[in-house]
Chain A
Amino acid sequence: MHIVVCAKQIPDPETPPAAFKIDAATNKVIPAAGIAPVLSQFDGIAAEAALRIKEAKGGKVTVISLGAESAQAAIKQVLAMGADEGVLLKDAAFDDGDSYTTARALAAAIKKLGDVDAVFCGRQAADWDMGQVGLLVAEELGWPVAIIAKGVEATDSGLKIQRVLADGFETVEMPLPAVVTVSNEFGDPRYPKLPQIMAAAKKTVTPWAAADLGLDAGSVGKAGARLQLQKLFIPEKSSKVELIAGDTPQEQAAALVAKLVADKTL
């Protein structure tokens, strides 16, 4: 079974809020000084899900990322976890695209690979939190899709997936080829060990540009985007906290309850 993992490099979502800044002129996040970009958390989990299937059933795992040269680091991380091959979709024409143009490029790369049985994505990229690309790749390829998986298992006929619902779980089954998006409920991804990191560093990552995928520059990136970002901004925090004084927790608790009652909150 050949599984493709789609992996995105993003600004570290655990950057302290005080270090999170936006350039209003370009509507872009200003990278926080000294904080390196990371592999989007859910994509690491998607890789873990793919690797466990490879270990159980054999086959191979290819990791694809669309991004800048720096995204090599995200690809290498998944290679170090145990993926076999890496592809970087890199082209100035891909810049400033939307979920749709990203999915279009990823789907074209998956078609070019040719023998892919399944695509594993994260439930959402932890920068824009959109949660679309996996579904759009499935639509581009015409494959069935199951989203927000907490369990993925290869069966004789396809994939069996446990999905997270609002008030519980659901088990679904679908034939291959198919797309899955994986959620944090799946569990933590493995940490690669030093020898694996060193071996991954030596692996070559195949670069593909729009032309390699047969994509017209006008159909990808900003030119092909359908979702137009007008403004990215930091919302104002209105709250000014009132710290409840008191010599003992009992006094503090009594003062807090009195305030909540006076406000008619309780």
Chain B
Amino acid sequence: MANNILVVGELEGGAPSATTLELLGGAQGLAAGGSVSVSLLGTGATAAAGQAAGAAKAYVSDDAAYDTFRGEQWLAAVQAAVTQSGANVVLIGQSVVGRELGPRLAARLGTAAAMDCVSVADAGGALQFTRPAYGGNALATYTIATSPAVATVRAKSFEPASGGGAGETVALPGAGESRVAVLGSEKAQSTGLQIQDAAVVVSGGRGLGAPEGFQQMEALAAAIGTDKAAVGASRAAVDLGWYPPSQQVGLTGKVVNPDLYIAVAISGASQHMAGCSGSKVIVAINRDKDANIFGFAKYGIVGDWKAVVPALIEELKKLK
């Protein structure tokens, strides 16, 4: 079935974000003869439309008031883009924007949203939206009978779009009122590489026993390469105050899909695995041979991390 798809884009440094390009890639595959359009809001939106590969049309507003996300302002603009594009499917990233916009947009359009999807598939009839549920223990597949179907989609669920940018732009109105005022923001101090972008993620858990354990995790990441590896943490470790919330991996933290995920003294609860089970290779270091993490790992070392991690650091240094 042909689908007219609107991707709610997000800008990053004046260009469509990586997730936006992935959603456009997914939309290309699902359109089946229908149209693909994108909405872009904020400074540089019109220029960024030229880089929105896969979209035929871009609904844009360069109003700088959109640079900070405020739900009410974005809702009005995106709702206009949905109506004008005649979309029967709306795709949004599972981000600060998507988490708020997905349900609210669906409510205003009299339809429903499927949140945090890991796949959107065309099985002949209505599109099928699949998402993790029950802390990652299960997957649930939904259809949406009302139109448009709204879905928020996890990063890296689709391959990025190829081809040229949007050939046509349509102006959206500038930002209206917002009852929610943003008073200020604070960036978490993260040194360099973000865990979502790292090729290798070294994560520590409660079994590290003390915050100092994370110095060893940082040393392990450094031995792999500061340009390649970043340090994550389980929620238990974050809740204990051992590492910042911005580094939490899991259901209520970040979702990472690195080439290599090294889980140190982490038991492998479903809610943790929900954030890293898409990693290409998982290595687990745990002293309990029955720990759940070994059910997900390709390689495991059963032992005390205090002995294994320093040995690993020495071995990795030899590679340089």
Q: Give residues in A with beta carbon < 8 Å to B.
A: 11, 13-14, 17, 20, 22, 29, 98-100, 123-124, 126-132, 135-136, 138-140, 144-148, 160, 164-175, 183-185, 225-235, 237, 239, 241-244, 248-250, 252-254, 256-257, 259-261, 263, 265-266
Q: Is the CB of A227 within 8 A of B142?
A: yes
5 pairs of A and B residues whose beta carbons are closest in the complex: A226-B112, A253-B311, A139-B107, A144-B179, A135-B103
- Give A141 to B205 CA distance when docked, in angstroms: 41
User: Which residues of chain A are near B100, meaning CB under 8 Å?
Assistant: 135, 145, 147
Q: Is the CB of B311 within 8 A of A136?
A: no
The reply on B186 being an interface residue by CB < 8 A is yes
Q: Is the CB of B300 within 8 A of A226?
A: no
Chain B residue nearest to A257 in the complex (CB): B315
User: Which residues of chain A are near B280, meaning CB under 8 Å?
Assistant: 265
Which of A166, A171, A173, A231 sits near B95, CB closer than 8 Å?
Answer: A166
- Give A227 to B300 CA distance when docked, in angstroms: 40
Chain A residue nearest to B308 in the complex (CB): A249
The reply on B168 being an interface residue by CB < 8 A is no
User: Which residues of chain A are near B282, meaning CB under 8 Å?
Assistant: 239
Interface size class of B (residues with CB under 8 A): 35 or more
Q: Is the CB of A230 within 8 A of B180?
A: no
- Give A248 to B310 CA distance when docked, in angstroms: 12
- Give A203 to B212 CA distance when docked, in angstroms: 47
Q: Is the CB of A183 within 8 A of B312?
A: no
The reply on B143 being an interface residue by CB < 8 A is yes
Known A165-B185, A242-B299, A242-B300: A128·B134 in contact at CB below 8 Å:
yes
- Give A127 to B140 CA distance when docked, in angstroms: 12
Q: Is the CB of B314 within 8 A of A29?
A: no
Chain B residue nearest to A126 in the complex (CB): B135
User: Which residues of chain B are near A227, meaning CB under 8 Å?
Assistant: 112-114, 142, 144
What's the minimum C-beta distance from A129 to chain B, rounded to whole angstroms?
Answer: 6
- Give A130 to B181 CA distance when docked, in angstroms: 26
User: Which residues of chain A are near B179, meaning CB under 8 Å?
Assistant: 144, 174-175
Which of B139, B180, B188 sits near A233, CB closer than 8 Å?
Answer: B139
User: Which residues of chain B are near A164, meaning CB under 8 Å?
Assistant: 245
- Give A161 to B116 CA distance when docked, in angstroms: 24
Q: Is the CB of A244 within 8 A of B300?
A: yes
Which of A167, A226, A231, A241 sits near B294, CB closer than 8 Å?
Answer: A241
What's the minimum C-beta distance from A127 to chain B, rounded to whole angstroms?
Answer: 6
Which of A29, A168, A249 sits near B186, CB closer than 8 Å?
Answer: A168
- Give A175 to B178 CA distance when docked, in angstroms: 11
User: Which residues of chain B are near A184, meaning CB under 8 Å?
Assistant: 235, 239, 252
Q: Is the CB of B107 within 8 A of A135?
A: yes
Q: Is the CB of A239 within 8 A of B296?
A: yes
What's the minimum C-beta distance from B242 to chain A, rounded to whole angstroms?
Answer: 14
6 A-B pairs with CB atoms under 8 Å apart are A129-B115, A139-B107, A170-B186, A173-B183, A243-B294, A249-B310
Known A29-B138, A129-B116, A241-B295: A226·B145 in contact at CB below 8 Å:
yes
What's the minimum C-beta distance from A226 to chain B, rounded to whole angstroms?
Answer: 4
User: Which residues of chain A are near B95, meaning CB under 8 Å?
Assistant: 166
Q: Which of A171, A172, A229 has the largest number of chain B CB atoms within 10 A?
A: A172
The reply on B226 being an interface residue by CB < 8 A is no
Known A99-B103, A230-B142, A232-B140: A174·B182 in contact at CB below 8 Å:
no
What's the minimum C-beta distance from A163 to chain B, rounded to whole angstroms?
Answer: 8
User: Which residues of chain A are near B104, meaning CB under 8 Å?
Assistant: 135-136, 138-139, 145
- Give A142 to B185 CA distance when docked, in angstroms: 26
Q: Which of B134, B140, B294 has the largest number of chain A CB atoms within 10 A?
A: B134
User: Which residues of chain A are near B106, meaning CB under 8 Å?
Assistant: 100, 226
